Structure 1
Amino acid sequence: MSWLDEIRWTADGLVPVIAQEADTGTILMFAWMNRESLALTAEEGYAVYWSRSRNKLWRKGEESGHRQKVREIRLDCDEDVILLKVEQAGGIACHTGRHHCFFRILRDGQWETVDPVLKSPETIYR
Structure 2
Amino acid sequence: MLTTKWANLPEWLPLPPEGLIPAVIQDASSGAVLMLITLNQEALGRIAATGLVHYYHPRKRKVVQKGESSGHSQEVLEIRLNCTGDQLLLRVTPWGGACERGYQSCFFRRLNADGWETADPRVFDPEEVYPEFAFSH
What TM-score do the two structures reach when normalised by structure 2?
0.83
What TM-score do the two structures reach when normalised by structure 1?
0.90
**One-letter code of the match for 2:113?**
D
Kindly report the root-mean-square deviation, in angstroms, between the aligned alpha carbons of the 2 structures: 1.2
Equivalent residue, structure 1, for 2:69: 63
Equivalent residue, structure 1, for 2:119: 114
Structure 2: 5+ residue runs without aligned partners?
Answer: 1-10, 132-137
Structure-2 separation of matches of 1:110 and 1:57: 34
**One-letter code of the match for 2:93?**
E
Equivalent residue, structure 1, for 2:12: 3
Matches within 5 A, 1:40-119: 40-90=46-96, 92-119=97-124
User: How many corresponding residue pairs?
Assistant: 121
Structure-2 separation of matches of 1:108 and 1:33: 35
Query: Contact 1:66 / 1:93 at 8 angstroms: preserved in 2?
Result: yes
**One-letter code of the match for 1:26?**
A
Q: Percent of counterpart pairs with the same letter?
A: 42
- For residues 26-69 of structure 1, the C-alpha deviation after alignment (integer angstroms, 9 at most, x for no partner) is 00011111011012212310001000110001100000000000
